Chains A and B, each alone.
Chain A
Amino acid sequence: MHIPDGFIDAKTALTTAALSVAGVGLALRQVKRELPPRRVPLLGLSAAFLFAAQMLNFPVAGGTSGHLLGGVLVAALLGPAAAVVVLTTVLIVQCFLFADGGVSALGANVFNMALLGTVGGWAVFRTMSGCLPGTRGQVAAVAFAGWCSTVLASLACAGQLAWSGTVAWSVGFTAMAGIHMLIGLAEGVITALVFLAIVRMRPELVPANGLSPAPRRAATVIALGLIVCLGLAVFVAPFACPWPDGLEAVATKLGFEHRASSSLLAAPAPDYQMPGIHWAGGATAMAGVVGTLIAFGLALLLSRALVPKSCSSGCESAPTRAIRAD
């Protein structure tokens, strides 16, 4: 989902860059305040881990392969602020060293994947794992959150492409959201599998719900959340909401209904298209809702398949070996 150079115009690039600088700056401040010095190298190593893990190709179908983006995984292990820093690092290195994502589009890519996807996904994870108990709950939460992060990032990406005039929203949204609702499944599954593997090997690496790294500064989390919402408002909402058109159509029709005949079926020619647009918008929204519910259900099923009943309230792994050998 890395946007190359030339696909977004100046205003989009600048807006996303500004949001990203603000968001990453906030995350850095939070990390400096919260992270014990002992864990500073872990940020760089997690970024290296994500990169190395992204090279492991999970066979999907035929020649396709899926791989992990990893925002939600890192957020579940290190907290949202650290995850923002880690993902930003990965995106910067990918951009400059591997030309994966354009330089002028770095702001957009960071916003979509390191901020929106990661923080949004983490919020879903926290909410869901707070409601569902035990290891099973965490696995389901991390799976669904992984899916959400992919879809959210793709929506913002589609919005940015539309705002730049590269790809019209109607096409971009359907294509991006559609494809990423599928890709998101892989992200969710892989995130869940790797998360579970880590929980089993080293449960102490996974922060328990409600404890560290719970951000003590609510203000920072709120500020990060606001930036995310702002971005959504700018890039997604104006295009995404079919309701204005839908509402207008309905209102006009009703207006006409008042003025014209009482028959609901008869409609003057200019309005003939209106119901079509209204239903198309409605259908898209319905598809989105249904897709989300399916992903949620799949996440629950996955957690059931992966975590046996006996372990659902939290597993103790085999005796952990000392960190320093000998």
Chain B
Amino acid sequence: MNLLGHHHAHHESPIHRISAFLKLGVGLALILGTVLMPVGCHVWFAVVAVFLALVAWLSRLSSFFLFKRLLVLSPVVLGVAAVNAFQPSARVSWLGIAVKSALCLFTVILVSNTTPFSKILRVLKLVRVPGLLVTTIALMHRYLFVLAGEAERMRRARASRTFTRRRRVRWHTLATVAGQLFVRASERAERIYDAMCARGWK
């Protein structure tokens, strides 16, 4: 299951080769800088935009893919823009917000698609994020594809035996699938614990 194309993180390019720590650090600095910069400071935004475009080109990620991911923001931005445009009391212009958002979003997309998740986890451990939280994040990432696959298979199996378009039945079906998914997830969690103990975890 191709959940938002996460295989990109394992490709080859000059950007992919840079250390995860550096990428996350620079990314964070860029985002914070962009958010804190007053809207009037056009130079900063222009420089950041050019820098990101350069990184995107070097990373050899498909521009179509990048553009598609940027579009994710559009409903929110349009919504706030609409609201913002109609209130004279708002201190910040919607265009400024939109530009900031887009630049930050682009940064996150570039970093996450050029860094394998296991390396991101290592950086989190390095900066002293509590172990329990890192383990939970790691397990979530490891099993979200597994569970998503199970959910999809169950949904399809149910749908194959659903002969009505009535919304009520569909809701009931989806809720049962979700419930069954949780039950399976909790059973799997127990088996994972057993497997961890079997190899000596304390």
Contact = CB atoms under 8 A, between A and B. Distances in A.
- Interaction A to B: yes
Contacts of B183: 198, 201-202, 205
Contacts of B76: 4
Interface stretch (B10-18, B50-58, B134-142): B134-142
Interface in B24-41: 27-28, 31-32, 34-36
B189 A166 contact: no
24 contacts: A4-B105, A6-B98, A7-B97, A28-B130, A28-B132, A31-B132, A38-B190, A38-B193, A41-B139, A44-B137, A44-B189, A45-B143, A47-B140, A53-B151, A56-B177, A85-B133, A85-B136, A89-B140, A90-B140, A97-B4, A102-B105, A166-B92, A167-B80, A205-B186
Nearest to A3: B76
A40 B132 contact: yes
A53 B181 contact: yes
Interface of A: 4-7, 9-10, 13, 24-25, 28, 31-32, 37-49, 51-53, 55-59, 68, 77, 85-86, 88-90, 92-93, 95-100, 102-104, 164-168, 171-172, 175, 189-190, 193-198, 200-202, 205, 323-324
Contacts of B138: 44
A45 B90 contact: no
Contacts of A97: 4, 6, 112, 117, 141
Contact of A58 (B151, B174, B191): B174
Most buried by B among A38, A39, A168, A197: A197
B46 interface: no
Given A193-B175, A198-B183, A52 B150 contact: yes
Report, nearest first, the 3 A-B pairs whose CB atoms are least far apart.
A44-B139, A197-B179, A6-B100
Contacts of A25: 130
A194 B190 contact: no
B48 interface: no
Contacts of B170: 58-59
B104 A46 contact: no
A194 B73 contact: no
Given A5-B105, A38-B190, A48 B140 contact: yes
A88 B84 CA distance: 29
Contacts of B84: 166-167
B42 to A, nearest CB: 15
A90 B112 CA distance: 16
Contacts of B148: 51-52, 55
Contacts of A86: 136
Contacts of B178: 53, 56, 68, 190, 193-194, 197
Nearest to B70: A99
Nearest to B202: A37
Nearest to B97: A6
Given A44-B189, A49-B185, A167-B84, 10 more contacts: A4-B76, A10-B35, A25-B130, A41-B193, A45-B140, A47-B139, A52-B148, A92-B137, A102-B35, A194-B182
A96 B90 contact: no
A48 B147 contact: yes
A48 B132 CA distance: 15
Interface in B135-177: 135-144, 146-148, 150-151, 155, 167, 170-172, 174-177
A144 B157 CA distance: 31
B104 A88 contact: no
Interface of B: 4, 6, 27-28, 31-32, 34-36, 69, 72-73, 76-77, 80, 83-84, 86-87, 89-92, 96-101, 104-105, 108-109, 112, 117, 120, 130, 132-133, 135-144, 146-148, 150-151, 155, 167, 170-172, 174-183, 185-193, 196
B176 to A, nearest CB: 5
Contacts of B171: 58-59, 189-190, 193
A45 B192 contact: yes
B105 to A, nearest CB: 5
Most buried by A among B91, B144, B167, B176: B144
Contacts of A41: 139, 189-190, 192-193, 196
Contacts of B35: 5-6, 9-10, 13, 102, 104
B91 A167 contact: no
A291 to B, nearest CB: 21
A49 B181 contact: yes
A175 B84 CA distance: 12
Nearest to A31: B132
A95 to B, nearest CB: 8
